[in-house]
Amino acid sequence: MEITEVRVRLVRNRDDRLKAFCSMTFDNEFVVRDIKVIEGPDGYFIAMPSRKMSDHCGKCGGKNPLGAKFCGGCGRPLSRHRTRQDSRGRASLHADIAHPINPECRARIQEKLVTAYKTELEKSKQPGYQLLEIDDLDKEVPNAM
């Protein structure tokens, strides 16, 4: 499988660790969107698209994010021990929608996306370039994709 296209949207936001959202096309046939480029203490890394995990209230059956303290339907306090713990003991509140199966694939994807991010960062220094505001993710920005 070949990565045939990468698009990068640089973002300006309050959380200066999040640098960009990317989409990646495989074999000119399959697209994965909303991959994040994040700056960590050891350099840039990617975070695959994910969704918030949820469960249902035992009293009213209302659906609640796993991080919620109270039910949005009936207001009942929810147990703090509704989540799985990851290897570091942190609550697992999100599940990847799409992700690489092995470390080699992840490394190839990360290398491609970080390289594309750095190229887009250089383009952003040109006059008239507009960064995507984090609050305007649904709006199309002509030169950021």
Q: Which tens digit of pLDDT belongs to each residue from 43-87?
A: 999 999 988 888 999 899 999 988 889 999 999 999 877 777 777
The structural domains of the chain, with segments of one domain joined by +, span 3-49+97-136, 52-95
Confidence of residue 140 (pLDDT cuts 50, 70, 90): very low
98 closest CA partner among 142, 38, 34? 34
Q: Are 44 and 117 in contact (CB under 8 A)?
A: yes
Q: Given 3.50.50.60, 3.40.470.10, 3.30.1120.40, 3.90.230.10, which CATH number is that of 3-49+97-136? A: 3.30.1120.40
The model carries a pTM of: 0.70
Q: How far apart are CA 97 and CA 134, in angstroms?
A: 21
Beta bridge partners of 51: 95
